[in-house]
Amino acid sequence: PVEVQGEPGNEALQDPPQDASEHAEDRQGGARRNFFWELTAVLAGAIVSVVPMLVGLYTFLLTPFRKKQLPLNYETGTGEGAGANEYFVAPLDAIPVDGMPRRFEIVADRVDGWNFIPHRPIGAIFLSRQQDDGTSPQVVAFHATCPHAGCTVAFSVDSDAFLCPCHNSSFSKDGEKMDLAGRSNPSPRGLDKLQVNQEKLASDGEVWVEYVNYYTGRKEMKPKA
């Protein structure tokens, strides 16, 4: 066989050297890997910088609409047929007809700045139910805050009275100031009685209470703004 070398036009007939083709494949593989890593870096950068911006924009733009969609009682404490600052506390059937005060939490959904906080306890009251008078259920509500300096009272079955643990004030089941033996009573007034919505009580069998916080340390009940 005649070996033809160096003649123009015969290059296509020759096989490329094996190490040269491997080198070319390595370069192509390296280029693909570089492209892959660059693409990954670009995507990661986009996620880190763009996603928080979109979330912030979404929150900023939609919060006013979300607030409008909330039922009224979520924002103002009112519900259909209920007055301002009235909160649903319990079904009437949940309160035994024995005149014994029982503690209930006032729970409400709140919008605080950008945050929606569902089912948040905002205070406590005592409810007691007497025998119905034949016309409507008899439910009485008292604020659980001691009017002296704001501690929370508890009802003592043994003493048959509300007792404050801070400075020994005591109150009867009717919320009146009383002097238990061995206890002084620095409270300037009786427990703060809260308004129960009689209409909701009679028609829906639900206890709705106008929950108002009053200033402590005063003889008169002055609502806080």
Could you tell me whether strands 193-194 and 138-143 are parallel, antiparallel, or unpaired per DSSP bridges? antiparallel
Residues 117-156 interacting with ligand FES (rule: CB under 6 A): 146, 148-151
Residue 170 interacting with ligand FES (CB under 6 A): no
Residue 100's CB: how many other CB atoms inside 10 A? 15
- Pick one of 82, 104, 161, 169: the residue that binds ligand FES (CB under 6 A): 169
By rule CB under 6 A, what count of residues binds ligand FES? 11
In angstroms, what is the minimal distance from the CB of 100 to ligand FES? 21
Distance separating alpha carbons of residues 151 and 163, to the nearest angstrom: 10
Residue closer to ligand FES, measured from CB, 107 or 149: 149
Residue closer to ligand FES, measured from CB, 75 or 174: 174
In angstroms, what is the minimal distance from the CB of 168 to ligand FES? 6
In angstroms, what is the minimal distance from the CB of 149 to ligand FES? 4
Residues 18-57 interacting with ligand FES (rule: CB under 6 A): none
In angstroms, what is the minimal distance from the CB of 179 to ligand FES? 13
Residue closer to ligand FES, measured from CB, 78 or 169: 169
Residue closer to ligand FES, measured from CB, 189 or 200: 189
Residue closer to ligand FES, measured from CB, 104 or 171: 171
Stretch that binds ligand FES, among 33-41, 96-104, 116-124, 165-173 (CB under 6 A): 165-173
How many Å separate Cα 67 from the centre of its chain?
14
- Pick one of 110, 186, 198, 210: the residue that binds ligand FES (CB under 6 A): 186
Residue closer to ligand FES, measured from CB, 90 or 149: 149
Nearest alpha-carbon partner for 144 in 119, 159, 125, 163 = 125
**Which residue bears the tokens 């905002």?**
122
In angstroms, what is the minimal distance from the CB of 216 to ligand FES? 7
- Strands across the sheet containing 102-112: 102-112, 115-130, 138-143, 193-194
Residues near ligand FES (CB under 6 A) are 146, 148-151, 164, 166-167, 169, 186-187
